[in-house]
Structure 1
Amino acid sequence: MATGVTAPGVVRVRVPGRSVRHDLRAIKIVLHRELLRFVNDRTRMVSVLVQPVLWLFVMGTGLSTLISGRAAQGVDFRTFMYPGVIAMTVITTAMFSAGSIVWDREFGFLREMLVAPVGRGSIVIGKCLGGGIVATGQGVIILALAGLVHVPYSPTLILTLLGEMFLASFTITAFGVSLAARMKNMQSFFGVMQMAIMPMIFLSGAMFPLANLPTWLALLTKINPLTYAVDPMRHAVFSHLSVSPQVVDALNPGVHWFGWHVPVALELGIVALMGAALLGVAIAQFRRTD
C-alpha cells in the first residue's frame, strides 16, 4: 500500500582530492599535536630528565674521583660526560615521541589519521619533525645546566649544539617511527626500544673516551650510528674549553677510520643521510599499515 512518502534524496559527500597544500597542512597539524602533547605532559618532562641528571651529577661525580690526576688534567669528568648526557636526553625523548604512535593505534586515533585524504608520508614527516623539536626542547633544559659542569654559555656553542641535537633527535624519531609502525602495543615497543637504544648509547662514547680502546670495542663504536651524533657534540664543547692538547687527545680523540680522522662535517652528513634513509623506511612501513 503506497504511503505517498518519498524517500529523501541521497546526500553526496565529496572528499577533497590530495594535494601538496593538504599534505603540508597535515604535517603542520601532526607537528602541532606533538608540541601540545609535550607542553601539557609535565610528568613526562620530569621523568625523562631524571636519568640524565643522575648520570651527570651522581655518576659523573663518582667517576671523576677515579680519573683525577690522570688524563683529565684540569677537566672535570662531568664536563666530558656533558655532551653524552645531552645525546642521551634527546635520544630518549625522541624515542618516547615515536612510541606515541603505538598509543594512538591502541586508542583508535591512528586509524582516523590514516583514512584522511592526505599522503601517509606527510603524517610521518610531521611526526618526525615534532619528535625532533620536542626532543631538542627537552635538551635545552640540559643546556641550561652547562655552567654547573664548567661548560661556557657561548652563543656559538649553544647554537651548534641545538642544530646537532635536532639532527640527532630527528634521525632517532624516524628510527622509532619505523619500529612503532608495525607494533601493536606499548609493551612490545618499549622492550624493543630498550634492546636497541641502550647498547647504542653505551657504545657511542657518551660515557667513556674513544681513545685507547680494545680492538673489538673500537670496532663496535665505529659501526654504531650514535657515535657520529655524540662525537660532534663533544667536539663542539671541547672547542670552547681551554685545555692542553694532551687532554684533548685523551678525552676528545674523535673517530678514526684506519688511522684517518673523520671530519665533523662528514659525521653530521652521515647522521643526516641515516635520518633521510630511516624516514623513507618509516614512510614505507606506514604505507603498509592497516
Structure 2
Amino acid sequence: MQIIKLIHGNEYERYVVRLGDGNVVEFSDNTRSLRDKHWVVCIPTQIGCGVRCYMCGSNQIDFKRSLLSREMLNLVELAVGRQGISPDNSEFFAVSFLGIGEPTLNINEVLSAMALLEKNWPAVRMIISSAGVNCRQSISLLLQAASRHNLGLQFSLLGFTDKERMASVKSNIKLITLSRIAEIGREFHSITGRKLYLDLLVKPEHRGKIGLGEEELGKIFTPAEYFHISVNIGSKFGNAPGFSPPSSDLVRKWFIALKQKGFEVAYHAPLGTNDVGNNGCGIVTCPQLAADLTTTQKFR
C-alpha cells in the first residue's frame, strides 16, 4: 500500500493510495478539533460504485471490485500510524464506511472489517451509510450487527417520493422504498435505542415541494423521534459534473419545514456529528480525481 497523493485541509487529510494490485482508492482522516477529542476516518468499501447515484461524484468511476476487510483495516491503520496518537486515547473515535462504494453490496467484508476494527480499538464507533439497495440478506445482517457493535446507520433518501428515489440511480440496481427504510429505522431503534439517520439531498427543483415534501416524509417516517434528517446541500468535493447545489435560502426553508414536522434536523456535517450516526465525507477530493481514479496510469 503506497500513498500517492495527500491533500491537507484545516480539519482533514485526504489520501489517494495505491493498493497491492495497482488499484487506487481514496479515503480521509477527519477531525473537527484535536484528535484526542474527535476523530473520524472515512473509508471506501469498493473500488468504484455500481449504484451510480446521479448526484455523486463516484458515478464517474468505473466499478472494479470490492475491498477486502484487511484492506479496509489497513487504510485506517495507515491514517492512525501517521498521527502519533492512539485512537484509544481519543474521546470520540469513529470509522465511517461512507467513502466510495455501497457497503451492502460488500456486506460480508464490511462486517469482517468491523470485527477487525473492534479488535484493534475496542471503543471504536462505526457508521455505515447506504443508498438502500434492495438486498434483504444484507439488511438483515446489518440489523444483527447493530445488536453487537457500536454502530450508526444512515440511508440516503435520494428524493421525497419512491419515484424520485428510483430515478436517482444510473444503474439497474433496485432500491428499497422509503416505507421500507422507515421500517428498518423502527427496528434499528428497537435494537439500539438510536435514531436512524436520513441523508436528504435538497435540489433546486425542490423549491416547489415545500409544504408537500415534508408532509410526505412525515407520514412515512413515524414516529419522527426515531429519525434524524441531515439536510445535505452537496459539496465541491463529492458532486457529479453538472449537479447544481441549491441556494442557502432554499436549504434553510427545508430545514425549518422538517423541524416543524417534529424531526431532529441538522445541516450535512462534512466532518461528522457528536454521536454515532451521520458522518459525511467528501467522496471525491477534487473535480478531476473521479476521472483520475479510473486509471492508475496517471499515478505511475
- Larger relative contact order, structure 1 or 2 (CA cutoff 8 Å, min sep 6): 1
Q: TM-score, normalised by structure 1?
A: 0.28
Structure with the higher strand share, 1 or 2: 2
Larger Rg: 1
Instruction: Pick the structure with more helix per residue.
Output: 1
